Amino acid sequence: MDRSTHSTSFYNRDVCTVAEELIGCLMVRARADGPPLIGRIVETEAYRHDEPASHSFNGQTARNRAMFGPPGHAYVYLIYGVHSCFNVVCGPQGTGDAVLIRAVEPRAGLPEMWVNRYGTPWVPGERPDRQVRLLTAGPGRLASALAITREEVDGTSLESGPVVLMPREAEPGEIVQTTRIGISRAVELKWRFVEAGSPFLSRAVG
């Protein structure tokens, strides 16, 4: 298995370019004991400092401090006081651009992801509402499955930290661009990128 990671130059580019090129890349969550949890990225959104949907639009705060840090590091924040969301800081340090990872396809460590998400091991026939697809189909869901918290991951390096991003193992399927989800400003920008037809998207394209 190729264990190389993206270098800083991969992230120090236009945020939409990085968002598109992250589709198909691997997200690797290292653990203290046992093998890593791995997901393949299938859905991303770009947020740029100069458009009002971005957390960085109004400048730096305690929450978004990592957004203005070096590229190739994580920005993790709490949404609605409930869920964590994982982002990739892009562009030159101090810019405030980031890519939100909205969905991944589970690739390794699925039983551990199940426990992280649902709090109990999978039991055949039990709780049919708890599906594999819903482990990682959405920013809050994937953060839960991969045990990503602000305390542990915010501001850490994506080359050497608890979460590491690795290049595509193969060319992804067709990448489709749509409007972003869940925002009320700059709604017209088509800065959401998805691998067409993936069953692990937070929402089907449309």
Partner DNA sequence: ATATCGATTGACT
Partner DNA sequence: GTCAATCGATATA
Where along the sequence are the contacts to DNA (CB under 7 A)?
45, 47, 53-56, 58-59, 61-64, 67, 75, 78-83, 85, 87, 98, 100, 117, 129, 134, 138-141, 180-185, 202
77 three-state secondary structure = strand
CA 159/CA 178 separation, integer angstroms: 29
Q: Rounded CA gap, 15 and 90, in Å?
A: 6
As a whole number of angstroms, the distance between CA 199 and CA 30 comes to 25
Query: Tokens 């270098």 belong to which residue?
Result: 7
Shortest distance (Å) from residue 89 CB to DNA? 10
Q: How far is the CB of 144 from DNA (least distance, A)?
A: 7
Nearer to DNA (CB atom), residue 63 or residue 168: 63
Check if the beta carbon of residue 55 is closer than 8 Å to that of residue 77: yes
How many residues in total does the chain contain? 206
Toward DNA, which CB reaches closer, 33 or 188?
A: 188
- Report which DSSP code applies to 87: E
- Amino acid in position 22: L
The pair phi, psi for residue 137, each rounded to 5°, is -90, 80
Q: How far is the CB of 4 from DNA (least distance, A)?
A: 26
Closest separation in Å from C-beta 44 to DNA: 10
Pick between residue 35 and residue 127 the one whose CB is nearest to DNA.
Answer: 127
Give dist(CA 103, CA 136) in Å, integer: 6
Nearer Cβ to DNA (78/110): 78
- Taking a C-beta distance cutoff of 8 angstroms, is the pair 133, 123 a contact? no
Residue 48 Cβ vs DNA, minimum distance, rounded to whole Å: 9
CB of 64 to DNA, least distance (A): 6
Comparison of 132 and 181: residue with beta carbon closer to DNA: 181
Specify the 3-state DSSP secondary structure of 102.
strand
Question: Which residue lies nearer to DNA by CB, 6 or 150?
Answer: 150
